[in-house]
Amino acid sequence: MRELKFRGKRVDNGGWVYGSLDSREKCRVLVLTETRCPTLEITTFKKFQVDPETVGQYTGLKDKNSVEIYEGDKVFVNDGFIGKNREIIYINSQHGWGYKHLDDIENAASKKMLGTESLIQFHRVDDIQVITGSYHSEQ
């Protein structure tokens, strides 16, 4: 069974938090983290308010360095000729995870979507490396 997991940047301190998504609370997006204590047979949950723009779902895939790949991640894809930077997206028409091509211009205002390809269909995960997370700040 596929693991459903999300991540987002906390509003209070900007750190990433990973867990389940809870959007039932009005005007807030929360990520719930779970802690299990097997000896006491209890599970506790903590809620963290996160910036909705940074929320991304885990794709179920890991890159060549065993780093989890999330929606919104910037990745480097080695296509055998010239590697390209791309962004992980969900492609509704293909019902699966893929990426959008970003042209090589460094100016963010000049970046544009050039098309999409499926991650699984066109590239092995061994050819993909996560560069940054969505709205990732250098740490």
Entry pTM: 0.75
**Amino acid symbol at 131:** I
59-132: CATH architecture: Roll (2.30)
Section 70-88 average pLDDT: 83
pLDDT at residue 28, as a whole number: 58
Stretch 61-76: mean pLDDT: 90
Other beta carbons within 10 Å of 88: 24
User: Using an 8 Å Cβ cutoff, are 3 and 20 in contact?
Assistant: no
**pLDDT tens string 101-126:** 775 444 444 445 556 666 555 567 77
Sheet harboring 74-77: ordered strands across?
113-118, 96-102, 84-91, 74-77, 128-132
Domain positions in the chain: 6-53, 59-132
